Each structure stands twice: as structure tokens, then as C-alpha cells.
């Protein structure tokens, strides 16, 4: 109707103007997305108070009677886990369903990739102790939280974390932030193509193939672009929940081959994750890339640390790099491409993400199938009562067993025969051997000479000594409990108490990369931050090509004792955050940190811009 009113000679011009208007509108929305997202978040409460039950299906939040019934059903299954036969019988369907799945399709990944390639991809499998604990929780019907931290290879979109809620959960017990609006902004892959999304989808289907009562689980993508293990060793708690069941770490690309730095960073990160209250399983996944200065990368620094902490490691380089060296034409179909359609050998494409997800899935599937195929879970028991008792042992929380063994009542420590149940499934070299020391007094614990090899109940525990410490029979290490304020966090944002010339900024094309920013020399800011061990660090962007300058930072007004932090470095095309230690010998308590943008710069082009990501302390 409207077009009929426009003369024919102007209609083509009108169509062209309409198209240009739409392009302009799209560009405007794209560049203003961050403020729009912040506005959307302002419309919703940051916390779901009073334990309100909520469901998330696609974009719809549901609560009320339906949600309450599902949550109560979940709590009924989870309550009394490991102590009542009702829980065992409720779990039987899951166990039998998983056994059928393993018999039917247990060699799925071997058929697709070959057992030799899968073995090569598993740089270290370890004891599987904590992975079995994840399987155990799923079989018991407990809700699971699957989390990942990493760099841009796992980053899902514009927000600092991406949430996917599958099934029932009590939101107030798990998170204090509503999900970000998901936007496809990965390096050449969409959100649902990211390896972690694919793995989560597989895990849900595999763990409950025929169960009527669905297991509630949550996926949390806590990836943060342009960061490495140094950042996450302080700030991981800002991006994944403390009650995670499984945490997958992918930082081998963003961590360069710098053993002097990243050995300690990865140890701090792994130790902090393993010591979380819910004692999660942790797996390192190392993506394939050919962009580093050498074939070695951060993954080769991480590996010995992972071995020490019994953390499984998946490396895509092991089975693929040599093959692609011989057949370089495979780079194009396996990596994303740049503007000129050349392979971006730093970021794999959707095919590479799919393979990462599947290789990780193969490890979890092998662990699960071995676990439910153990004698305790078979159908060979004489009757249902015996089978239920066997399943009760199968479902027993390994950490509950550890705690039980550490706190045995004196009455049970009088005779070694009463303790046989604690070692009945141990290997010969792991069983206790004499002499047996009886307690002399009622309040004195008995002592037993343990076997030389680790007992099953010990597997998965964090070593008393750190990887880089010397041997000591008595040294104890307390959890570090770092403090972090980050531009990539809404819960703990990096907000100065005083600022002159600094502002929060992001590039319109990269709104997920937020910085505290200034390009005016002489501009300054001030922060207040607490420390327990006297260490304060700043995490800022380093680049050769961004025209970055330098700042001078000092603590408690002592400018003359300050340190310089440079943004420029001659490190190829690596644009990534790095630490600067502001102070390392402070007294515990509250301190002020001040920084000023310097006129002097190391950038050959005279650039002064400086971008800060976080301020952290120990």
C-alpha cells in the first residue's frame, strides 16, 4: 500500500535507504549493547531472595508450584544420601540405565577416533578419584554444576559468564546473578558450538539415558578473554560458583611457555579449585594451536603440576600436531580464518571444538562405565537386598569415607579386626601391616602402620606440601583465599575510591573485554584493598601493537617506593593480561594503592593508553 504511493523512479532509492537504515540501526544496537545489557540487569534483582525456586527453560523463568514440586523431589533424593536404602533404590534405575548405555555404546569414541589416538590425547588420567565422585553424585540424583574457566577459546559471548540451566535447582543456593543474554561472539564458532556446550549436552544425555527422574544440572562458562592462569589463580571465584562439581580448565594457549611464572600460577589455581568446599573434580583441557613462538606452550608447564595434584590432562596437540605437520592442507578445515581467509592457527573452528568435547567425553565415559561395571554394581547379587547393599557401597561418598577414617571413635579402634571394613577392597600393598598399637587410654587414638601405597580413600586429596616446596614432615599450608576486584565481574567490580581521568571502557567491537582505561598522562586513581599475607598485584593488558604506555603505582602514600607497570612489550602478536607486583611485604590489613599514568612510555609510537583488568591481593 505504501509502495504504491511512491513514484516508480524512486522505489529503488527507497529500498536502498531502508537497507542503509537497518544497517545503521544494527550498528547502533551493537555498539550500545553493553549499556543495554546493564539496563536489562537493572530491571531484575541481582539476587533471588528467600530461597525462591526457579526453573530456566530457554528464556523463560518459572517458579511457583511446579518449581517447588520439582525441587522438593530433588531434595528427597539428595537427602540422606549414602545412609538410607530408599536412596539406593531410587538410584538403581540410573545405574542400570548407565550400564545398558555402556554395553550398547561403550566403544563409541574408540570407533570414531581410535583407541591409540584417545590414549595419546590423555596426557595424564590419574586415579579418576574425583571424576568417580562426579559420577557417584549423578547416580545418587544430586544436582551437578559443570563449570569451565579459560580464555577466548571457551568464551561464549559478551557477558563475563554464560549460564545454561538444565533441570531443577535452587537458584539462591547456587548463584547470585541472573544469566547473561547469550550472544554469539566466539572466535568463529557460535555459542552452541563451543566445546564446553557440546560436552554439557553429551553429559546430560549420557548420565540419564532412561531415567524418569531427571538429574538437575547447571553449566557455567566462566571463560574470560585475554587472561591466563595468573588471573584465575586470584579471580576464579568471580566467574564460577564455589559449589561446582566438575571444573574444566583450558588455559594452555593463553599461558605461554614460561615455567618460572606459570608453574606457580597453575599450582595456585589448581590448589584453590581442589580445596573448594564441595571438593570438585578438575580436568585440564589443552587446545590445539600453532600460533605460539614454539611448539611448546603453557600446557607443557601445566602438566607436571597436574601430575602432582592428580588432575587429568587432555591434550589435543598430542594426536593431531604431528599429523598436521605432515598434511598442512588440514589447517584450513580445522582452524578459523581471518579476514583474508587465511587459517587463524590460534583458534580451532567448530570441528576442533567438537573434537575437544568428544575427547573429554571419552574420558568421562570410560570412567563412568568402569565404575558402574565394577562388581559392586553388577546384577550378580543373590537378591535385591544384597544388591542394594552393594549399591550402597558403590554410592558411598569417597570423602565421607575419608572423614570417617580420620575420626573413628575410640571404641572402634580397640581391635584391628573391627577396622577390616575400611580396607577390605584395598590392594595388598595398600593394606595396613603390623605392629598394631592399641590405645593405652580411652581418649588416646590407636595407631596402625599403613601400607606403603595409597589407599583408595586417600585418592583425590590435596597434598599437604606445595609442588614448589621442599620436603618437610610438619609444614602445613592454609588455603590462600585471594581477594580480587575485576572489570570482568559484576559482583566485585574494579571501582576506584578516587579517580581523575580514568574510566571504565571497552572497544565497541569487543564489549566483553572491559578495562579501567586512561590515555591522559598525569591521570591518577586510588583503591583501598585488604591483604592477609602482604601481597598486592595488578593485572593489566600487555601488547606490542595497541600503543600502550606505563603507570607508576605505590602503596600507602609512599610514592618513592613505587613500581612501574608497562603496557608495551615486544612479544609478537600476543595481547594478553599480565601481573605486576605492587607490594609483597605489607602488614595484614587495609591499604591504599595509587597509580599515575606516566609521560614516559616504552611504546615506539609514543602511545600512552593503559588498560587495567583487575587488582588482587593475598
| Class of residue 198 by CB neighbours under 10 A (exposed 0-12, middle 13-18, buried 19+) | buried
| Low pLDDT (below 50) residues in the chain | 1-5, 28-83, 156-186, 378-384, 407-414
Beta bridge mates, 69: none
Answer for the pair 140, 89: CB distance below 8 angstroms, yes or no: no
Residues near 144 by Cβ (< 8 Å), separated by ≥ 6?
134, 137, 138, 215, 216, 217, 218, 245, 246
What's residue 170's pLDDT?
32
Closest by CA position to 502, among listed 542, 553, 544, 545: 553
Q: Are 368 and 510 found together in one domain?
A: no
* pLDDT reported for residue 546: 95
Assess if residue 495 is contained within a domain: yes
Q: How many domains, the chain?
A: 2
C-alpha closest to that of 205 among 72, 296, 91, 97? 97
pLDDT at 140: 84
- DSSP-based three-state secondary structure for 465: coil
Q: Does 399 map to a domain? A: no
Reduced 3-state DSSP string for 265-330: HHHHHHHHHHCCCCCCEEEEEECCCCCCCCCCCHHHHHHHHHHHCCCCEEECHHHHHHHHHHCHHH
Instruction: Decide: 310 and 459 in contact? Cβ < 8 Å.
Output: yes
d(C-alpha 41, C-alpha 502), whole Å:
24
Q: Domain holding 545: CATH number? A: 2.60.120.260
Backbone φ and ψ for 459, nearest 5 degrees, come out as -65, 140
pLDDT at 531: 95
Q: Classify residue 249: in a domain, yes or no.
A: yes
Q: Is residue 410 part of a domain?
A: no
Paired residues of 484 in beta bridges:
616
Cell numbers describing residue 16: 536502498
- C-alpha closest to that of 95 among 376, 364, 359: 376
pLDDT in the model for residue 328: 95
- Supply the pLDDT for residue 40: 32
Can you give the residue range of the structural domain that contains 563?
A: 483-617
Is residue 151 in some structural domain? yes
233 and 369, same domain (yes or no): yes
Looking at the structure, tell me whether residues 503 and 368 fall in a common domain: no
Q: Cα dist. 60→173, 182, 427, 554 in Å?
A: 20, 14, 52, 49
pLDDT at 261: 92
Are residues 490 and 363 located together in one domain of the fold? no
d(CA 495, CA 485): 8
Q: Which pLDDT score is estimated for 13?
A: 58
Answer with the one of 333, 354, 375 that is the final residue of a domain: 375
Whether residue 491 sits in one domain with residue 355: no
In a domain, 601, yes or no: yes
Read off the CATH number of the domain in which 251 is found: 3.40.50.1110
How far is 121 from 318, CA to CA, in rounded Å?
Answer: 6
Does 424 reside within a domain?
A: no
| pLDDT for 17 | 62
Judge if 368 and 504 occupy the same domain: no
Give the phi and the psi of residue 292 in degrees, each rounded to 5: -70, 170
- For residue 145, CA distances in Å to 30, 55, 101, 196, 459 come to 32, 15, 22, 13, 22
Amino acid at each position: 500500500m505504501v509502495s504504491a504511493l511512491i513514484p516508480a523512479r524512486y522505489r529503488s532509492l527507497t529500498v536502498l535507504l531502508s537497507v542503509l537504515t537497518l544497517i545503521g540501526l544494527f550498528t547502533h544496537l551493537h555498539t550500545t549493547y553493553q549499556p543495554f545489557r546493564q539496563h536489562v540487569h537493572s530491571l531484575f534483582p541481582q539476587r533471588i531472595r528467600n530461597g525462591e525456586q526457579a526453573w530456566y527453560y530457554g528464556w523463560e523463568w518459572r517458579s511457583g508450584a511446579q518449581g517447588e514440586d520439582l525441587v522438593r523431589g530433588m531434595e528427597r533424593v539428595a537427602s540422606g544420601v549414602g545412609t538410607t536404602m530408599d536412596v539406593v533404590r531410587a538410584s538403581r534405575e540410573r545405574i542400570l540405565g548407565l550400564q545398558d548405555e555402556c554395553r550398547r555404546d561403550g566403544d563409541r569414541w574408540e570407533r570414531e577416533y581410535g583407541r591409540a589416538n584417545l590414549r595419546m590425547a590423555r596426557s595424564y588420567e590419574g586415579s579418576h578419584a574425583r571424576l568417580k565422585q562426579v559420577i557417584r553424585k549423578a547416580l545418587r540424583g544430586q544436582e551437578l554444576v559443570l563449570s569451565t574457566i579459560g580464555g577466548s577459546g571457551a568464551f561464549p559471548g559478551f557477558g563475563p559468564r554464560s549460564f545454561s540451566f538444565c533441570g531443577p535447582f535452587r537458584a539462591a543456593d547456587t548463584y547470585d546473578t541472573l544469566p547473561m543474554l547469550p550472544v554469539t561472539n566466539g572466535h568463529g564458532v557460535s555459542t552452541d558450538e563451543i566445546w564446553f556446550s557440546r560436552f554439557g549436552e553429551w553429559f546430560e544425555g549420557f548420565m540419564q539415558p532412561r531415567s524418569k527422574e531427571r538429574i538437575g544440572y547447571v553449566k557455567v562458562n566462566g571463560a574470560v578473554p585475554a587472561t591466563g592462569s595468573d588471573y584465575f589463580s586470584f579471580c576464579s571465584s568471580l566467574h564460577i560458583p564455589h559449589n561446582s562439581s566438575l571444573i574444566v580448565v583450558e588455559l594452555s594457549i593463553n599461558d605461554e611457555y614460561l615455567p618460572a611464572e606459570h608453574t606457580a600460577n597453575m599450582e595456585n589455581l589448581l590448589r584453590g579449585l581442589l580445596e573448594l568446599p564441595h571438593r570438585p573434580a578438575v580436568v585440564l583441557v589443552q587446545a590445539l594451536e600453532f600460533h605460539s613462538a614454539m611448539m611448546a606452550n603453557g600446557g607443557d608447564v601445566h602438566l607436571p603440576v597436574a601430575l602432582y595434584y592428580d588432575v587429568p590432562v587432555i591434550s589435543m596437540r598430542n594426536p593431531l600436531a604431528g599429523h598436521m605437520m605432515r598434511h598442512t592442507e588440514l589447517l584450513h578445515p580445522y582452524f578459523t580464518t581471518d579476514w583474508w581467509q587465511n587459517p587463524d592457527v590460534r583458534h580451532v573452528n567448530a570441528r576442533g571444538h567438537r573434537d575437544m568435547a568428544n575427547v573429554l567425553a571419552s574420558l568421562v565415559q570410560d570412567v563412568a562405565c568402569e565404575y558402574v561395571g565394577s562388581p559392586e554394581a553388577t546384577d550378580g547379587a543373590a537378591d535385591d537386598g544384597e544388591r542394594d547393599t552393594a549399591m550402597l557401597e558403590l554410592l558411598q561418598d569417597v570423602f565421607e569415607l575419608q572423614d570417617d577414617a580420620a575420626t573413628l571413635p575410640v571404641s572402634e579402634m580397640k581391635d584391628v579386626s573391627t577396622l577390616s571394613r575400611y580396607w577390605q577392597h584395598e590392594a595388598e600393598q595398600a593394606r595396613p601391616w603390623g605392629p598394631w598399637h592399641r590405645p593405652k587410654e580411652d581418649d588416646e587414638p590407636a595407631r596402625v602402620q599403613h601400607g606403603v601405597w595409597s589407599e583408595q580413600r586417600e585418592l583425590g586429596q590435596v597434598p599437604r606440601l606445595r609442588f614448589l616446596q621442599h620436603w618437610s614432615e610438619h609444614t602445613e599450608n592454609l588455603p590462600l583465599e585471594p581477594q580480587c576486584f575485576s572489570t570482568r565481574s559484576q559482583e566485585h567490580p574494579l571501582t576506584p575510591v578516587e579517580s581523575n581521568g580514568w574510566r571504565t571502557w571497552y572497544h565497541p567491537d569487543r564489549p566483553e573485554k572491559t578495562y579501567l582505561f586512561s590515555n591522559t598522562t598525569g591521570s591518577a586513581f586510588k583503591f583501598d584493598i585488604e591483604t592477609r599475607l602482604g601481597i598486592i598485584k595488578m593485572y593489566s593488558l600487555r601488547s606490542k601493537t595497541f600503543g600502550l604506555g606505563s603507570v607508576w603505582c605505590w602503596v600507602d602514600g609512599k610514592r618513592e617506593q613505587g613500581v612501574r607497570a608497562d603496557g608495551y612489550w615486544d612479544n609478537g602478536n600476543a595481547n594478553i593480561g599480565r601481573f605486576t607486583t605492587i607490594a609483597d611485604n605489607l602488614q595484614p590489613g587495609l591499604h591504599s594503592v595509587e597509580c599515575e599514568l606516566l609521560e614516559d612510555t616504552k611504546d615506539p609510537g609514543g602511545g600512552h593508553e593503559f588498560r587495567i583488568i583487575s587488582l588482587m591481593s593475598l
